[in-house]
Amino acid sequence: MRFALALTSLLLAAPAYAADSARPTVIELFQSQGCSSCPPANAALVRYADRPDWLALTFAVTYWDRLGWKDTFGQPAFTERQYAYARSVGSDVYTPEVVVNGRAAGVGDTGAEVAELAAKTDRGASGPLVTVAGDAVTIGSGTAPAGGAEVWLALYDPRVLEIPVRRGENAGRTLPHRNVVKRLVRLGGWNGAAERLTLPASQGLARAVLVQRRGVGAVIAAGRG
Cβ neighbours around 87 below 10 Å, total: 12
pLDDT over 70 (residue 195):
yes
Closest to 58 (Cα-Cα) out of 24, 90, 81, 83: 81
DSSP summary character for residue 67: G
Q: Where are the domains of the chain?
A: 2-224
Q: Cα separation of 101 and 31, whole Å? A: 17
**How large is the greatest C-alpha to C-alpha distance in the chain, in angstroms?**
52
Alpha helices in the chain (DSSP H): 2-12, 39-48, 76-89, 111-120
Give residue-wise pLDDT tens across range 138-174.
999 999 999 899 999 999 999 999 999 999 999 999 9
Percent of the chain with pLDDT over 70: 92
Which residues have a Cβ under 8 Å from the Cβ of 144 and sit 6 or more positions away?
Answer: 190, 191, 192, 220
* pLDDT computed for residue 17 by the predictor: 33
* pLDDT computed for residue 179 by the predictor: 98
* Confidence label for 7 from pLDDT (cuts 50, 70 and 90): very low
Q: Which amino acid is at 77?
A: A
